[in-house]
Amino acid sequence: MKFYNREKEIKLLANIQEAAEENAQMVTLMGRRRIGKTKLLFHATQDTPTLYFFVARKAEPLLCRDFIDEITSVLRLPIYGEIQDFKTIFQLLMDYSKTMKFNLVIDEFQEFYTINPSVYSDMQHLWDRNKDDSHICLFLCGSIYSLMHRIFEGNHEPLFGRATQQIFLKPFSTITLKQILSENNPGYTSEDLLAFYTFTGGVAKYVELFVDNKALTHHKMIKLMCQENSPFLSEGKNILIEEFGKEYTIYFSILSCIANGFTARTAIESYLQREIGGYLTRLENDFNIIKKRIPMFSKAESRNVRYEIEDNFLRFWFRFFYKYIRYIEAGALEKLQEIIIRDYPTFSGHALEEYFKCRFREKGEFTALGGYWNRKGEDEIDLIVLDEIEKKAVVAEIKRNRQNIKMDALMLKGASIQKELNGYSVEYRGLSMEDM
Distance of CA 58 to the CA centre of its chain: 27
| DSSP helix/strand/coil, 100 | coil
Lowest mean pLDDT among 99-103, 131-135, 146-150, 282-286: 146-150
* Higher pLDDT pick, 206 / 80: 206
pLDDT score at 4: 81
Single pTM value for the model: 0.90
Give me the chain's average pLDDT, please: 93
What stretches of 21-103 show up as alpha helix (H) in DSSP? 37-44, 60-74, 86-96
pLDDT grade, residue 146 (50/70/90)?
confident
The angle formed by the CA atoms of residues 407, 411 and 415, to the nearest 5 degrees, is 170
Amino acid (one-letter) located at 89: I
pLDDT score at 404: 95
User: What does the alpha-carbon distance between residue 227 and residue 331 come to, in Å, rounded to a whole number?
Assistant: 10
Q: What is the pLDDT of residues 43-97, one digit of tens each?
A: 999 999 999 999 999 999 999 999 999 999 999 988 888 899 999 999 999 999 9
Fold of 7-168: Rossmann fold (3.40.50)
Tell which CATH classification among 1.10.10.10, 1.10.10.60, 3.30.70.3270, 3.40.50.300 matches the domain 235-330: 1.10.10.10
Phi-psi region for residue 385, left (φ > 0), alpha (ψ -120 to 50) or beta? Answer: beta
Between the alpha carbon of residue 281 and those of residues 239, 285, 286, the distances in Å are: 20, 6, 8
If you average pLDDT over residues 231-258, what whole number do you get? 93
Is residue 299 over pLDDT 80? Answer: yes
Supply φ then ψ for residue 48, to 5 degrees.
-130, 140
pLDDT score at 149: 81
Supply φ then ψ for residue 358, to 5 degrees.
-60, -40
Q: Cβ-count burial of 267 within 10 angstroms (0-12 exposed, 13-18 middle, 19+ buried)?
A: middle
Q: Is residue 219 within 8 Å of 341, Cβ to Cβ? A: yes
pLDDT score at 142: 87
Which residue(s) pair with 59 in the sheet? none
- With a pLDDT cut of 90, the percent of the chain lying above it is 83
Q: Structural domain boundaries of the chain?
A: 7-168, 235-330, 364-435
Q: Cβ-count burial of 338 within 10 angstroms (0-12 exposed, 13-18 middle, 19+ buried)?
A: middle
